[in-house]
Amino acid sequence: MSAGSAPVTERVAVLDFGAQYAQLIARSVRECGVYCELRSGDADPEQLKAEGFAAAILSGGPASVYGEGAPRAHPALWSSGLPLLGICYGHQLLSHALGGRVERATHAEYGGAEMEVTAAEGVLSGFPACTRVWMSHGDLVLEPPPGFVVCARTASTPVAVIANAARRIYGVQFHPEVAHTPLGLQVLRNFLFGVCALRATWSMERYADQAASAIRESVGPAGRAVAALSGGVDSAVATALVHRAIGGRLTAIFVDHGLQREAEAEEVTAAFAGAFPALRLIHVRAEERFLAALRGVIEPERKRRIIGAEFVAVFEEEAGRLGTVDFLVQGTIYPDVIESGGGASAKAATIKTHHNVGGLPERMRFRLVEPLRPLFKDEVRALGMELGLPASLLWRQPFPGPGLAIRILGEVTRDRLALVRRADAIVREELAPLGLGREIWQGFAVLPGARTVGVMGDVRTYGELVAVRAIASRDAMTADWARLPHDVLERISSRITNEVPGVNRVVYDITSKPPATIEWE
Ligand code: XMP
């Protein structure tokens, strides 16, 4: 555990068997007010108990329980006394392990199904006789293990829910964690509060208190910390939390590389000064230095490397002036931990290693304070609200670390920055009424560096082309271009050509990711 992760008392493990929805199960459990973490499917139950886990939920997964190399649970799990809830593959796995019969279904079942409830007890406590559930499976439990009762069935799934109340082991073939199962959260609540007798103790208010005391303890009575504010949500909330914990012993450094969006540097610094007047905040204006380093640079990866290296250099210089500082605050969040493969689950593939401030910890021999490590993004936002950060800061769209530099194709100059910055502000102003969310994940302007011929007031022009990109996404890993209303596109186009000098044409990017990426560089 890195310094500053809060101790949480009541907790549940999601044992991950490679499920698409393992994170969603953990999110749903937390939504019920119980802390939850992912662990590897074969986690040792004694270890889980030693870590304070009071129950385990076995996730779904793509394998067949009788298939070669199918992931197995730890053999001691079944007799560990931990209350268990198996979902989909988890349901089949526990049925198979405890002596039931699992087979390949003649027809795989995907999508909504009507489920008939024959015993409204245990995880189905309070359920009506018939309810809609969401199924996604190719195998079936045909006979429950000895000692288990069948509580529900659908037309194609004869053993949809099983229960052994004495052993507190339950299995459901459907997915309670997805929104398409309307009573799904009720299944989880029945398990957590009815079967396991847990209490709903997980809230951001409580987390803020617990995390602040944990930070105080690990930083010690005289320890000093420094935070790099980027303008993003995670670094802002981590900074606010550590400030609550150690007050004036934290200094925040905002490296203003001059590649920010319109009014961004002022908004971020003003938001912090307003919410935390006692925080020591150093605003380093380094635009000249970054522009000088980027002069003549065209190749995108070189731009990123230069900006990263310059950022580290500026930060080091400023931090060096503070005297002895032992800790660096980082805004690492739970999906980063899982994606980096350093998380709970050995099953989650390593997709990319995240560093909010690339290269800093290695070079500077700081100890890390990462107080957001256990949190999902929406929890980070809720915590930020709890700590008094303004909603305008917590609900910004994602913005890349290298900033507008990777939205200017070709050389980054002061004039081109001013142009793309204004166009970007117009795009964001016009998209604002539509709200941010999955439908519009990001919307921005790009300067492709192409010039085209136009006509303005009977005069021929040879001006800049601006591209507008707006995408729909769940997580930025894949994306589709947003189907923006034509009148919104019309306003964006006419405002950019009228209000941004030198631009005579606007195009809309209609490429998904893949094959394109979200950013143009
Ligand atoms: P791409 O362009 O790879 O972007 O489809 C995926 C998401 O990541 C953001 N992005 C970055 N964020 N540093 C960051 O902090 C970067 O270098 C960077 N490059 C892309 C991008 O805005 C999108 O949300």
Q: Please identify, by atom number, the ligand 1 atom nearest to the C-alpha of residue 399.
A: 22
Give the C-alpha separation, 508 to 46, whole Å.
56
Q: Are residues 386 and 420 in the same domain?
A: no
- The pLDDT value recorded for residue 359 is 52
- The pLDDT value recorded for residue 2 is 52
Say which amino acid occupies 84: L
Q: Please identify, by atom number, the ligand 1 atom nearest to the C-alpha of residue 519.
A: 2
Question: Is any atom of ligand 1 closer than 6 Å to the C-beta of 99?
Answer: no
Q: Please identify, by atom number, the ligand 1 atom nearest to the C-alpha of residue 230.
A: 15
> Among 175, 257, 318, 521, which one carries the catalytic annotation?
175
pTM above 0.85, yes or no: no
Instruction: List the beta bridge partners of residue 144.
Output: none
Give the C-alpha separation, 173 to 65, whole Å.
14
Question: Is any atom of ligand 1 closer than 6 Å to the C-beta of 145?
Answer: no
Q: Are residues 371 and 502 in the same domain?
A: no
- The pLDDT value recorded for residue 360 is 61
122's tokens:
């245990």
Cβ–Cβ < 8 Å for 31, 202: no
Burial of 86 (0-12, 13-18, 19+ CB in 10 A): buried
* Catalytic residue flag (residue 175): yes
Query: Does 71 sit behind a cis peptide bond, omega within 30 degrees of 0 on the bond before it?
Result: no
How many domains does one find in the chain? Answer: 3
Q: Are residues 258 and 369 in the same domain?
A: yes
Domain limit, last residue, from 394, 416, 434: 394
Question: Is any atom of ligand 1 closer than 6 Å to the C-beta of 476?
Answer: yes
Type and span of the H or E element at 446 = strand 442-446
Query: Does 515 sit behind a cis peptide bond, omega within 30 degrees of 0 on the bond before it?
Result: yes
Q: Are residues 182 and 243 in the same domain?
A: no
Q: Tell me whether residue 3 is in a domain.
A: no
- The pLDDT value recorded for residue 152 is 98
Q: Are residues 320 and 360 in the same domain?
A: yes
Backbone angles phi, psi at 289, to 5 degrees: -65, -40
Q: Which of 416, 418, 506 is nearest to 470 (CA)?
A: 506
**From ligand 1's centre to the CA of 400, what distance in Å?**
5
Q: Tell me whether residue 71 is in a domain.
A: yes
Q: Which of 132, 128, 127 is nearest to 113 (CA)?
A: 132
Q: Tell me whether residue 209 is in a domain.
A: no
Give the C-alpha separation, 481 to 468, whole Å.
10
Query: Exposure pattern of 25-62 as b/e (b: 16+ CB <10 Å)?
Result: bbbbbbbbbbbbbbbbbbbebeebeeeebbbbbbbbbe
Backbone angles phi, psi at 30, to 5 degrees: -65, -35
CATH code, 444: 3.30.300.10
Question: Is any atom of ligand 1 closer than 6 Å to the C-beta of 398?
Answer: yes
CATH code, 138: 3.40.50.880
CATH code, 384: 3.40.50.620
Q: What DSSP state is assigned to residue 5?
A: P
- The pLDDT value recorded for residue 362 is 66
* Catalytic residue flag (residue 283): no
Question: How do beta strands 459-472 and 280-285 pair?
Answer: unpaired
Return the residue whose CA atom lies nearest to atom 10 of ligand 1.
Answer: 400
Q: How far is CA 79 from CA 51, 145, 153, 249, in A?
A: 18, 14, 27, 49
| Successive 10-residue mean pLDDT values, the chain, 521 residues | 56 92 89 93 97 96 91 97 97 97 88 96 98 93 98 96 98 93 97 97 91 95 93 93 96 96 93 92 96 97 92 90 92 78 42 42 78 90 94 89 95 97 98 89 97 94 98 85 98 98 98 93 93
Give the C-alpha separation, 57 to 90, whole Å.
8
- The pLDDT value recorded for residue 510 is 98
Could you tell me the residue range of the domain that residue 480 belongs to? Answer: 407-509
